[in-house]
Amino acid sequence: MGGGLERELSEVLRLVADDDSVGAVLLRGEGRAFCAGGDVKSFNEWTTAAEQPPPASRVLGTLKATEILDTILAVPQPIVAAVHGYAMGLGATIALFCDVVVAAEDAKIADSHVSVGLVAGDGGAVAWPLLMPLGAARYHLLTGEPLTGAEAARYGMVLRAVPAADLAAESERVARKLADGAPLAVQGTKATLNKIVRERMALTLESGLLLEGATFVSEDHKEAAAAFVEKRKPKFQGR
């Protein structure tokens, strides 16, 4: 997921926040995925470029990921995520920061940072342990192994999983139910519940993002990006 898309989504959500005629937001992806996350091929192009941004800018650049997460929490109206196909990395985090998630049974949800040599720092360490048992969250964040939508529903990580053909109708039904509620009550409840999320963000997000930034300039991340492009298993060296 490119920084441009994050900014555009933040801008749209801020417009929605100021529109009293909007009772709820339905967030979904076009095409074959909800959001596939960062472009690993572009990571490889960056790590092999002759002229690269200095490491400090790369590290500090990860802090920009907080903008979209803050915006999702700040929008007063409830946000429903309809997840189909792949929701990976920051894409999974964006979905899980929404107020309600409905997923296709065959959707693939993963925080894939570790798989490409990066710390899962941009919100995964906030969202996953809040939505599923800590032991399971540890396993999936440490390995990057995906969950299907059906598995996520069994954990309670998403509200429910439905056949892919039913996802649009079911997510719209949920969004309309939220939109039909008493606005002050619904929005006040969202704001109250999100204090729990903000408390967890204050505990973990800044350090997670800085650690992620450090791994962006690691040899292991460079190796993971190259291995992805070359379709081989990466050989990590711990540096």
89-117 pLDDT, tens digit each: 999 999 999 999 999 999 999 999 999 99
All structural domains of the chain with their residue ranges:
5-164+181-226
Helix (H) / strand (E) element for 104: namely strand 100-104
pLDDT for residue 159: 98
pLDDT for residue 53: 55
Share of the chain above pLDDT 70, in %: 87
CA distances from 194 to 72, 181, 200, 219 (A): 10, 18, 10, 37
* Cross-strand partners of 160: 102
pLDDT for residue 76: 97
Determine the Cα–Cα distance for residues 92 and 123; give it in Å rounded to an integer. 9
pLDDT for residue 113: 94
CATH assignment of 5-164+181-226? 3.90.226.10
144-168 pLDDT, tens digit each: 999 999 999 999 999 999 999 999 9
Please, what is the angle between helix 183-216 and helix 219-230, to 10°? 100
Backbone CA torsion sign across 14, 19, 21, 23: positive
Determine the Cα–Cα distance for residues 31 and 3; give it in Å rounded to an integer. 19
Determine the Cα–Cα distance for residues 220 and 236; give it in Å rounded to an integer. 5
Residue range 209-230: mean pLDDT, rounded: 91
pLDDT for residue 130: 96
Helix (H) / strand (E) element for 201: namely helix 183-216
127-141 pLDDT, tens digit each: 999 999 999 999 999
pTM for this structure?
0.88
Which residues, 6 or more positions from 103, have their beta carbon under 8 angstroms from its beta carbon? 82, 83, 84, 109, 149, 152, 153, 158, 160, 161, 162, 167
DSSP single-letter state for residue 106: T
Backbone CA torsion sign across 223, 228, 229, 234: positive
pLDDT tops 60 at residue 3: no
Q: Which two tokens stand for residue 222?
A: 């460079």
**Torsion-angle region of 37 (φ positive above 0: left; ψ -120 to 50: alpha; else: beta):** left
Residue range 13-17: mean pLDDT, rounded: 95
24-81 pLDDT, tens digit each: 999 999 889 999 876 555 554 555 554 555 555 555 555 566 789 999 999 999 999 9
pLDDT for residue 62: 58
| Residue 153, number of CB atoms within 10 A of its CB | 19
pLDDT for residue 61: 55
Which residues, 6 or more positions from 18, have their beta carbon under 8 angstroms from its beta carbon? none
Helix (H) / strand (E) element for 46: namely helix 40-48
